[in-house]
């Protein structure tokens, strides 16, 4: 039986190449992440009362929050597996959103309409794909 002579240097090189290939495929196959953030910007002249609930917390009661004039409040954030460069409709993760001014008037701003939100998309990382989508709903005195 013929046994070929194995050069130890060749085995080390082959091991290094194999290790790099495994590392490369591991990094390429990672899912990535998409971060979604919803905020309300109060451009009115009074404090606002926000009643808010997201789809993720269907079993919990809605939150009641206060936001001062000129402030921006983060309503919620969600991380989704997989890097998605295209934003979703902002209302797709919101179950309830009532906005009242200091006199108790309810906002007429249609938060379910995508065009009423400012959407900012940012690529955080290329490999694995990582994106952030920021959704901002701005409310002013004319929205009551």
Instruction: Give the pLDDT confidence of 21-33 residue by residue, as tens digits.
Output: 554 555 555 689 9
φ, ψ (nearest 5 deg) of residue 57: -115, 50
Residue keyed to tokens 């009551």: 144
User: Which pLDDT score is estimated for 59?
Assistant: 66
pTM, whole model, 2 decimals? 0.72
pLDDT 10s digits, 93-125: 888 899 999 999 999 999 999 999 999 999 888
Q: Residue 73's beta-bridge partner residues?
A: 40
Report which of 38, 43, 60, 58 is spatially closest to residue 112, judged by C-alpha positions. 38
User: Which pLDDT score is estimated for 91?
Assistant: 86
Report which of 95, 14, 6, 22 is spatially closest to residue 59, judged by C-alpha positions. 95
> What is the 3-state secondary structure of 17-70?
HHHHHHHHHHHHCCCCEEEEEEEEEECCCCCEEEEEEEHHHCCCCCEEEEECCC
Average pLDDT, the chain: 84
């Amino acid at each position: 039986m013929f046994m070929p002579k194995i050069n130890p240097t060749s085995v080390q090189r082959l091991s290094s190449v194999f290790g790099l290939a495994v590392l490369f495929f591991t990094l390429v196959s990672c899912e990535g992440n998409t971060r979604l953030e919803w905020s309300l910007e109060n451009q009115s002249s009074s404090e606002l009362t926000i009643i808010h609930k997201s789809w993720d917390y269907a079993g919990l009661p809605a939150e009641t929050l206060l936001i001062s004039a000129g402030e921006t409040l983060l309503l919620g954030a969600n991380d989704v597996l997989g890097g998605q460069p295209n934003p979703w409709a902002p209302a797709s993760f919101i179950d309830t959103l009532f906005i009242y001014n200091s006199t108790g008037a309810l906002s007429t701003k249609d938060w379910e309409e995508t065009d009423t939100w400012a959407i900012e998309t940012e690529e955080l990382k290329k490999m694995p794909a990582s994106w952030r989508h920021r959704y901002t709903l701005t409310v002013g005195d004319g929205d009551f």
